[in-house]
Amino acid sequence: MGSYDYYRMFGFFNRKFKIHETAPPPDVMNAFRKYSEGEAHMTVDQFAKFLVEFQGEDDCTSADAESIIRQLIQRRHHLTKKTRRELELTLDDFFYFLFQDDFNGPITTQVHHDMTAPLQHYFIHTGHNSYLTGNQLSSDCSEIPIIKALERGVRGIELDLWPNSAKDNVHVLHGRTLTTPVPLTQCLKSIKEHAFVKSPYPVIITLEDHLTPALQAKVAEMVTEIFGEMLYYPESGCLEEFPSPESLKHRILLSTKPPKEYLESNNHKEGQNSSPVEKDSSEDDFFLKETTEHTIESESDAKYDSDLDDEYGDIQNPKTSQLAPPQYKRLIAIHAGKPKHGLRHALVTGLDKVNRLSLNEQALEKAASLYGTDVVRFTQKNILRVYPKGTRVTSSNFQPLVGWTHGAQMLAFNMQGYGKSLWLMHGLFRSNGCCGYVKRPEFLNKRGPGYEVFDPKVRLPVKKTLKVNVYLGDGWRLDFSHTHFDTYSPPDFYTKVYIIGVPADEAKKKTRVILDDWGPIWDEDFSFPLTVPELALLRIEVREHNMSEKDDFGGQTCLPVSELRPGIRAVPLYDKKGEKFRSVRLLMRFQFL
């Protein structure tokens, strides 16, 4: 008989809890005995040896070990005045250390990738419609989601620019929807204030420009006045090569299509009740049409869009002799274009200059299926941005692995949403100290003697095997109410462990269910053979088993396999929106075989 049935049958509704002190698992006790040499206490030097040999922290010194022990004793016992000889760890102190994620987390918290390569050599944490507070059709536009994204380490911010109703100023909103606007100046000032709170590396502002030349000139004034010397743009007007994140620290870059000629007609006269070129739809609208290799452009697209080949020169309207505002065009650091003659053509012919190309998720999937190596080759010189398809009106996101395996640097995600795809995005960008730039695997940047590149379709041999041990979990009783999971009994937790990566590496395992326990002990291990560990993510999710309904969510995290620190580690868990729980964490061990 289950505990719920017992309480229901006998009418006892006073909740009973199985609360006990979590004991160290056998592997922890064995490690302590080994490195304390069978004694009841572990010295500073013995602890240092454990950190180097067992935890794989090769650069750890005896002084580092002493500093950690001092902080642990202060935190746990509130003792400060101890000589070095008196600094020792008991088994309980040792176990306490292992379960502190700030001392013993699963990945390093420091920037450690080479940051001197060109921008296209990095995955860049990128937002989509960064100003939206909710869905894509009717939510408010605000600077608040922009601030939240920057504080999380997002480095790519997207702003859709439209004239206000009086056509004399610029609003940010999702065009042709019911979203309420926010003034552009408000967004720019918020970007300036919060751009480098989390990371010193450059912020790229992607502009979806639906403005007249007069308003483009107004934008140029705004950005130069607000950003000042923070604004980076090439003196020559266009980049021969992309700079490195290191060289662009604390700089802000604009990225958009160069200005087009603004054609006057009987229905469109500057200064009158006109709107920007209505047929110049956003990238979202355009690429929803990208269902065949050779896009059939509308007459208006042909009329208003400049060719990629002509994008670096001033564009003159033969009818009005009106020049597009050169000061606005000069401020565009990363030029964007779209594949006027078909995507394959743009991928192959865009190799002689640096550009940013934007595709929606459907166009990327098609390109990956038909000519994946061309996509990889294109990203070795240029930047590829991928954004959600237009039907994702609830601000959901797409699965990012197709983009990453083909080298796409900027996968634009709806950061205000949540779900498993966004968890993967959070996971990748926990790499490299959460700075927003993750160095792509070197095989994505290399070419063979015959100009061949990495082919995501080719199955490779196993490169290494990741062994994962899920020991135990704790902290739910502190972060959740006692009736959150079950009204009359403690929760029944189990853990699911996934590998997300190239198709050959995908895997899913799960532990057994531990009944009626707030501090479950599983002590189970799993092995994952990996062919491309550089692109693999370890996704972990704790669930509470429920007989009659859907299993309850108990926390999740996602960790880049290439960043995992070997040894026994404290793994903090996050809620569905990616916010870290204060107390909930797992104790796990990672080994590479």
3-state SS track over 477-509: HHHCCCCCCCCCCCCCEEEEEEEECCHHHCEEE
345-382 core/surface letters (b: 16 or more CB in 10 A; e: else): ebbeebeebbbbbbbbbbbbbbbbeebbbbbbbbbbbb
Q: Which DSSP string corresponds to 207-253?
A: EEE---HHHHHHHHHHHHHHHGGGEE--TTSS-SS---TGGGTT-EE
The Cα-based distances of 534 to 177, 328, 384, 441, 501 in angstroms read 40, 40, 20, 6, 9
Alpha-carbon gap, residue 38 to 342, rounded angstroms: 70
pLDDT at 315: 33
Q: Could you tell me what percent of the chain has a pLDDT over 90?
A: 75
Closest CA to 359 of 332, 340, 345, 339: 339
Query: Bigger pLDDT: 590 or 416?
Result: 590
521 with 469: CB under 8 angstroms? no
pLDDT level of residue 11 (50, 70, 90 thresholds)? very low
* pLDDT beyond 90 at 13: no
| Tally of CA atoms within 13 A in the half-sphere of 227 that contains its CB | 26
Q: In sequence order, what DSSP letters do the residues of 3-34 get, joined into one string?
A: HHHHHHHHT--S------PPPPPHHHHHHHHH
3-state secondary structure of 387: strand
**CA 82 to each of CA 51, 85, 86, 87, 151: distance values in angstroms, whole numbers, following the listed order:** 22, 8, 6, 6, 39
Domains and their CATH numbers in the chain:
26-98 (1.10.238.10), 119-258+282-444 (3.20.20.190), 461-592 (2.60.40.150)
Nearest to 407 by CA among 12, 104, 65, 119: 119
pLDDT at residue 18, as a whole number: 52
Please give the mean pLDDT across all residues of the chain.
86
Q: Which residues pair with 255 in a beta bridge?
A: 206, 334
Confidence of residue 10 (pLDDT cuts 50, 70, 90): very low
As a whole number, mean pLDDT of residues 329-356 equals: 83
Give the per-residue pLDDT at 276.
32
The confidence band for 81, taking pLDDT boundaries of 50, 70 and 90, is low
DSSP strand pairing (231-232 vs 126-127):
unpaired
Query: Could you read off the pLDDT of 185-210 as tens digits, one per residue?
Result: 999 999 999 999 999 999 999 999 99
- Spot the catalytic one: 171, 174, 210, 426: 174
Tell how far CA 196 is from the center of its chain: 17
Mean per-residue pLDDT, 218-224: 96
Residues facing residue 538 across a β-bridge: 499, 559
Q: Both tokens of residue 102?
A: 């700030």
More confident position, 78 or 182: 182
pLDDT band at 289 (very low <50, low <70, confident <90, very high): very low
Is 128 a catalytic site residue?
Answer: yes
Q: Looking at 52-56, 235-239, 384-388, 576-580, which range is the least confident one?
A: 235-239
Residue 350 pLDDT: 63
pLDDT of residue 306: 34
Measured CA to CA, the distance from residue 333 to residue 256 in angstroms comes to 9
What 3-state class would DSSP assign to 456? coil
Neighbours of 573 (CB within 10 A): 23
* More confident site: 142 or 323: 142
C-alpha–C-alpha distance, residues 397 and 402, integer Å: 13
State how far the Cα of 258 lies from the Cα of 335, in Å rounded to an integer: 7
437-478 pLDDT tens trace: 999 999 999 998 888 999 999 999 999 999 999 999 999 999
What is the mean predicted confidence (pLDDT) over 151-160?
A: 97
Measured CA to CA, the distance from residue 544 to residue 492 in angstroms comes to 5
Hey, is 292 helix, strand or coil? coil
Question: How does pLDDT run across 366-404, given as a tens digit for each residue?
Answer: 999 999 999 999 999 999 999 999 999 999 999 999 999
pLDDT of residue 427: 97
Give backbone dihedrals phi and psi of 448, rounded to 5 degrees, phi first.
-80, 180
| CA–CA gap between residue 474 and residue 52 (Å, rounded) | 27
Does the pLDDT value for residue 290 go beyond 50?
no
412 near 127, Cβ under 8 Å?
yes
The encoded tokens of residue 568 equal 């026994």
Residue in this structure with the two tokens 């926390």, named with its chain if needed: 555
- Could you tell me the pLDDT band of residue 325, with boundaries at 50, 70 and 90? low
Q: What is the pLDDT of residues 361-370, one digit of tens each?
A: 999 999 999 9
So what's the pLDDT on residue 80?
67
* Percent of the chain with pLDDT strictly greater than 70: 84
Q: Is the pLDDT of residue 273 over 70?
A: no
What does the pLDDT read at residue 451?
86
User: Among the options 128, 210, 335, 426, which is catalytic?
Assistant: 128
